[in-house]
Amino acid sequence: MRVDFRFCPACGTGLAAREVESRLLPACPDCDFVAWPDPKVAVAVVVEDDAGRVLTIRRGAAPGQGRWALPGGYLDADETPAQGARRECLEETHCEVEIIGLACIHHVLTEGGGLLVIAYGGHAVGGSIRPTEEAPELGWFRADAMPELGFSSHRRALAAWRSGVPEVL
């Protein structure tokens, strides 16, 4: 969900429209703060087991609550995208994944603004999957028997990873 700033988070002054680099953006009249419409960054990972099955979860939380998805989530500021993908997978499924390569970089415009999804392919190397609050249902699925993924970026990631050619925008 996008938060539209109305007051400056640095000094509390009400924001006013200012032309910055030929765009009209909410900006603070009293300090340098400008509410840039930066994209959020999310990560996801196509995790395969030794049999080539793909780890798929039903999301227990927004965004996309109730939809099937790849393990993934928003990137934290202090981690690399690959670290974020491993962390999200472990948190959501208890599966330890080794990242093998890039599946796709996908840009999506959502109601909440721009979203950049960095998706990897990886191999399960440890842990034992079990349901969590973030993934109350999950399992290993053969590619031809997987539930429909509820995010276009995840569908693209799966297709790109299986084709062997990363899709980079």
Can you give the binding site for Zn ion, defined by CB under 5 A?
A: 8, 10-11, 13, 28, 30-31, 33
- Nearest-CA neighbor of 74 among 23, 27, 117, 137? 117
Nearest to Zn ion of 18, 123 (CB atom): 18
We find the least distance from the C-beta atom of residue 25 to Zn ion, in angstroms, to be 14
We find the least distance from the C-beta atom of residue 10 to Zn ion, in angstroms, to be 5
Rounded CA-CA distance 10/6 in Å is 12
We find the least distance from the C-beta atom of residue 18 to Zn ion, in angstroms, to be 12
The maximal CA–CA distance of the chain, rounded, in angstroms, is: 60
Could you tell me how far CA 91 lies from the centroid of its own chain?
Answer: 14
Nearest to Zn ion of 4, 111 (CB atom): 4
Q: What are phi and psi of 22, to 5 degrees?
A: 55, 25
We find the least distance from the C-beta atom of residue 114 to Zn ion, in angstroms, to be 24
We find the least distance from the C-beta atom of residue 26 to Zn ion, in angstroms, to be 11
Nearest to Zn ion of 14, 37 (CB atom): 14
Q: Give the three-state DSSP class for 163.
A: helix
Rounded CA-CA distance 60/137 in Å is 8
Nearest to Zn ion of 13, 80 (CB atom): 13
Q: Which residues pair with 40 in a beta bridge?
A: 115
Nearest to Zn ion of 31, 168 (CB atom): 31
